[in-house]
Structure 1
Amino acid sequence: MRLIQPLAFAAPFLILLGSCVGPAPRQAGPAPTPAPRPTPTPAPAQSASPAAPLASEWQDRPAAPGDWRWQSDAAMSVARFGPTAADTKLTIRCDRAVRRISIIRTGAGQGAMTLRTSYGATSWPATAAASVPQTVAIRAAADTALDQIAYSRGKFAVEAAGLEPLIVPAWPEIARVIEDCRG
């Protein structure tokens, strides 16, 4: 009995001692041979770098370059978007007397005007202006789709058949025109 007690005390230490063994030695194998390096071939000279392909979804495309400009008078409130004040691509205009908002896209489109926001897409009837190449959709100031444009996450798109999609930032000038028309 006396012999069993010291062994019972030493058993956990013997188990720990067995776990202190290092990894098994590796057998040396043949040294790997390096793969042959390809010979670089000079790229053909190009006059201009190719443009990056357009993203398939409108949300992934960049907004058109430009700024919103707002102005107001007694008859109307207007927000214009374009690279310069003279080169307007999109106009959102409120006619206060009849409480109507016109979305005016530069260029003669056909059929409906589709507005895409982070809330979804809305299609409105549109007409081509006779005097200048413009596509116009007119809505009542109370139309809730106007709020979707004003509060879209970062940007929205304006599309009409026959025209390239126009993606513009959703800046406060848009909400200002809508509120001026409702107020």
Structure 2
Amino acid sequence: MRLLPLLAVTLVLASCAAVPKPQPAAPRPVPSYTPPPPPPRPLSSDWRDWPYTPGDWRYRQEARGSIAAFGAGGAPVFTIRCDLAAGAVTLSRPGTAAGPATMTIRTSTLLRALPLQDSADTLTATLAPRDPLLEAMGFSRGRFIIEQTGAPRLVLPSWAEIGRVTEDCRR
């Protein structure tokens, strides 16, 4: 019987011992799934609402005349050049044609197809410095469009660089 109190004390102490708490389960790994981007919205039927081609106009002067080049980073996608010696403005974009090709320019006031010459991986159209198409490109309501079979459509902003090249050639 003497052991009974000792047994009782041992039981009481054992019940007070720290019971380990259960550890929370490790979080489940999240799958690395990225949903695909939504499909591009269809273009509006009005070209004046189409998004701009990415890029900016850059203007510079050279010994032969001035240049306004449009592009994003690397090589320009469209160039307007004043050739003072020839007294002409050339519109060009990179590419080649497998036969007669035309570039259609659409502004808020004019629509014109220009015949293209193919030289050294560049397609060019030549205009007189006072051609009304140049004014229409420079003053079109925010943008103008360049379309050509086999090449991406360009939606270009009507910025001051266009007018600067045109004016440089009229002097």
TM-score by length of 2: 0.74
Cα drift, residue 164 of structure 1: 1.9
Deviation of 1:124 after TM superposition, in Å, equals 1.2
- Candidates 67, 76, 89, aligned match of 1:101: 89
The answer to whether structure 1 residue 111 and structure 2 residue 107 are counterparts is no
Structure 2: gaps spanning 5 or more residues: 1-33
d(CA) in 1 for partners of 2:133, 2:37: 42
Percent identical: 38
Q: Is the 8 A contact 1:108 1:163 kept in 2?
A: no
User: Which residue matches 2:46?
Assistant: 57
Letter in 2 for 1:63: Y
Which residue number in structure 2 is paired with residue 10 of structure 1?
A: none
Q: Partners in 2 of 1:162 and 1:61 — Cα distance?
A: 19
Who is 1:135 aligned against?
Answer: 123
Once the two structures are TM-superposed, the CA of residue 120 in structure 1 deviates from its matched residue by 2.4
Give me the whole-angstrom Cα distance separating, in 2, the residues matched to 1:76 and 1:136: 16
Q: Which amino acid aligns with 1:69?
A: R
* Cα contact 2:71–2:77 (8 A) shared by 1: yes
For the residue of structure 2 that corresponds to 1:161, the secondary structure is coil
1:120 is aligned to 110
CA RMSD in angstroms comes to: 1.6
Q: Return the letter of the residue paired with 2:160.
A: P
Post-superposition Cα deviations, 1:63-112, rounded to whole Å, max 9, x if no partner, equal 1111100000231100000011x231100001011210010022335521
In 2, Cα distance between the equivalents of 1:126 and 1:57?
A: 26
Please say if 1:71 is aligned against 2:60.
yes
Q: What residue is the counterpart of 2:3 in the other structure?
A: none
Residue by residue, what CA displacement relative to the aligned partner does 1:130-171 show, whole Å, maximum 9, x if unpaired? x22x22111111211111111111110111111121110010
Partner Cα distance (1:108, 1:73) in 2: 25
CA distance in 2, matches of 1:46, 1:53: 20
Corresponding letter in the other structure for 2:154: L
Q: Secondary structure at the match of 1:54?
A: coil
* More displaced 10-residue stretch of structure 1: 137-146 or 102-111: 102-111
Structure 1: unaligned runs, 5 residues or longer: 1-44
Q: How far apart are the structure 1 equivalents of 2:36 and 2:134? A: 45
